[in-house]
Structures are given as C-alpha cells and as structure tokens.
Amino acid sequence: MASLPREQWSSRYGFVMAAVGSAVGLGNMWRFSYLTAENGGAAFVVLYLAITLVVGLPVLLAELTLGRGAQKSPIRALAHFGGNRWKPLGLVFVAAGFLILSYYSVIAGWTVRYALSGIVFGFDGDAAANFGEVATGWDAFGFHLAFMAGTIYIVAHGVSGGIERTAMILMPALFAIVIALAFYASTLEGAGGGYAYYLETDFTKLSELDVWKAAAGQAFFSLSLGMGAMLTFASYLDRNSNLPAESIVIAVADVGIAFIAGLVVFPMIYALNLSSDVGESTVGALFITLPKAFAEMGGVGRGVGGLFFVALVVGALTSAISLLEVVVSAAIDGLGWSRRFAAVVLGATIAVIGIPSAWNTNILGAVDEVANNIFLLGGGFALAIFVGWWMADPEGEVAQGTSGPFWLPIWRNLLRFAVPLFLGFVLYFAIPSTWRTVASLF
Ligand code: PHE
C-alpha cells in the first residue's frame, strides 16, 4: 500500500504547545487539587514534585526519544527499537488510551455543563444535589458524547491542521485565565487559611504508603506518561529537535499550572469557609465545593466560576486530543486506516466504553484507579526497562540534533535503577489495593 508522507508539526512552538496541552488538563486542576486535599496538603505536593523530577522527567525524555527516533506510533516504535517481542507493550498503551479517554471524557462533559450553566444561569447554591444531576445518567452521557464529538472533530483534522492549531490558540488562553484567577483568589478575605493548608508541610504524612501511591500516580497522569501519548506526539517531530530542552519545558509548564491551580482552589475554599467539605474528598468533591463557593460569591462568582470551568474545558480538550491520537495513530500505521475513519470509529467506540462511568461515579473512580495505578505506572516501569536496559544506544538517540547535555548518563542510570525500583515498589502496593477497589464494585 502506498503510504502518505508522515505528518509533522509546523513549528517547534506548535509541538511544545500541543505537548503541554496534553500534559495540562483535568489532572492539574481537578485531580491535583482533590488528591492534595485527600492526602494532607503540602507534604503531598512536595512528594509529587520530587517524583516528577526524579521519575517522571526521565520517562518523559524516554518517550520523546522513542517517538522521534522511530517516527512511528507506539506499537511500531517499540518494535523498531526492540523487535516484535515488544509489540504487546504497545498494545497495552493503546488499551490504556481507550480506557482513560472513556472516563476522562465523562468528567470533561461535567466541566462543559458547569461552564455553560454557570455562565448562563449562575451557579446552583444546592451544589450537592446539582452535582448528582450533572454527574450521572443521561445528563452525564449527553455531555460526554458532545465532548467526544469535539475531540473527534479536531483529531480528524490532523496533526498540524487540527491538534497543533487548537493547542496554539487555547493553551495561552488557559495560562492567562489560571494566572488571573490566582491573583483574584489572593484578594479574598480569609485566603490565608487556604495558603497555610496548601503550603505548610506536615512531613509525618510521608510515612503513609497511600500518599506515595497517589503522588506517583499523579506524576504520571499529569505528565501524560506511561501510555505512549508523548511518544506519539514526538513521532511527528523532525530529527534535529532538542529533546532534553523540550522535556524540561513540558515538565515545568505542567507542574507550574498544577501549582497555580492550587493557588486558585485552596484560597477560595477557605475564604468561603468550605474547607470541611473538602476534607471528605472524593472524585466529586471539587465539583461540589467550588460551585458552592461560586454561588456564594454572587454575581462575581458567575464570571469567576465561568472562567474557572472554561479553563478546565480547555485543558480537558487538549488532553483528550492526545489520548485519542494514540489510538488513531496506531490504526493509521498498523491497519492502514484513514485518519478521518479512524478518529470517528475509534472515538465512537470510546464513547460507548464510557457509558458505565457516565452512569456511576464509583465505577468512574475505579476505572481511574486502574488506569493510573496499573496501566500508567506499569507502562512507565516497562518503558524504563526498555530504554534503560534493552535499547542499544538511547543516549546517542537523544543527542541527535543537539550536543546532548551532560546529564544524559545520569538519565540512563535513573532509567536503569531508580525508576524501575521506585515504580516496582509502588506497584507492589498499588496492585492489591486497586484490586480491592475493583472488587468492591461487585
Ligand atoms: N495529562 C492529562 C491531564 O493531566 C491526562 C492524560 C493522561 C493525557 C495520559 C494523556 C495521557 O489531564
């Protein structure tokens, strides 16, 4: 079959915006805040930052290296550098794409609904009842479908014409909104309590294994690691791009937005005396507490809350695009499908897989746990082994197009030892506890 030349990003800036768009999403603004609340504030934040630097960043550079080097989608890229026996790992990545997007899109649907109804009608003071309505049943399903349709539309338009263009317009808008909201939150009376909770470290928390598990899962989820999303995006880069520099820019932007989102969420919650609500944090907590805060702020709350949810929608969309692209690129490369056909058929399949999550938030929470604790951490573990031990010359592959920074040998050694040891340790605890969560559904 004659194949078209591989698609490419039209500029370095476009690639960086698309990759940052993949990283920055619900993970930074919803998941990060709710996990921080659940795991005792600043200790969790410090741990998450450390894991991102020592474990996340090396895996990110590994993914970028595999993608750019092979110029192929995940399954073929692994076969390119490791032979056919590594193909099943690529299949696991594609399966993770299906699984994560199926519930990610449901949550994204809630944010679309909140953004629209908040701006048009104002936020509902009876936030818990309202959440029950928004987050389950036909309502949740309808917005999930609408969100998937938007994601499919953009991916169908291609790498530079769809994904890159969207990210180049939307990401700067998201940065501006989040920074403006953080300034606004700092002017609220009583914001100090929120900062104190968020920034004062209680190191005794570090003795709890659950905190480590949550921080590791969050580091991978937030950087879009362990399932080939970054690998796929890097496969559209030309060979002389500077991967170490890109990986640092992506990680800094991702962590920066998560941190600033915390500077929005915690002061607002404390200023309106809603902190006890967050204490019993679950998947839905932020979607109840924040709208309550916005409702209490009156007219201002409508604008502030509207902007907050618009930022969430934007972040979710640019991340969902990257999840769908993993699956679509695999079908284009492996099955010879056209981009448009692949986007529609696979996107529709994912929408169907999301139905149980749209009906029941406990199912959604369990799928989220499986995806993170098993697929992403397991995928990161396997990637580290692959690049650290199996691949012939990873340092040489990174250094194409650049001189290669002095820390490349450190990078290789982190992938060989620290990353697999750490992830192996976390998986050892995460697998049984995730199993219990899944079993409790039945
Ligand atoms: N990083 C995205 C977020 O923080 C989620 C994501 C995970 C996207 C894995 C792609 C792959 O919202």
pLDDT in tens, 328-342: 999 999 999 999 999
What's the pLDDT at 2?
45
Q: Which amino acid is at 350?
A: I
- Angle, alpha carbons 282-122-260 (nearest 5°): 50
Q: What's the 104 CA to ligand 1 centre distance in angstroms?
A: 9
Using alpha carbons, list the distances in angstroms from residue 164 to 123, 258, 322, 341, 350.
33, 22, 11, 20, 22
Mean pLDDT of 176-186: 97
Nearest to 420 by CA among 374, 391, 378, 392: 378
Cα separation of 142 and 134, whole Å? 10
What's the pLDDT at 206?
87
pLDDT in tens, 95-114: 999 999 999 999 999 999 99
pLDDT of residue 1 exceeding 80, the answer is: no
What's the pLDDT at 432?
95
Q: 35 — phi, psi (to 5°)?
A: -70, -35
Q: Which of 221, 223, 314 for a ligand 1 pocket mutation test, highest count of atoms within 8 Å of Cβ?
A: 221
Contact assessment for residue 30 and residue 286, using Cβ atoms and an 8 Å cutoff = yes
The model's pTM is 0.96
Q: Which of 260, 319, 321, 367 for a ligand 1 pocket mutation test, highest count of atoms within 8 Å of Cβ?
A: 319
- Give the contacts of 15 (CB within 8 A, at least 6 positions apart): 9, 164, 233, 236, 237, 241, 246
**Domains in the chain and their CATH numbers?**
12-439 (1.10.4160)
Nearest to 227 by CA among 348, 380, 76, 363: 380
Cα separation of 135 and 229, whole Å? 27
Percent of the chain clearing pLDDT 70 (strictly above): 97
User: Hey, how many other C-beta atoms are within 10 angstroms of the C-beta on 50?
Assistant: 13
Q: If you average pLDDT over every residue of the chain, what do you get? A: 93
Cα separation of 204 and 407, whole Å? 33
pLDDT in tens, 31-82: 998 888 888 788 899 999 999 999 999 999 999 999 999 999 999 999 999 9
Q: What's the 188 CA to ligand 1 centre distance in angstroms?
A: 31
What's the pLDDT at 280?
53
Q: Which amino acid is at 51?
A: I
What's the pLDDT at 282?
61
Which residue matches tokens 């284009």?
Answer: 332
What's the pLDDT at 283?
66
Nearest to 23 by CA among 255, 205, 183, 235: 255
Ligand 1 atom nearest to 376, measured from its CA: 9
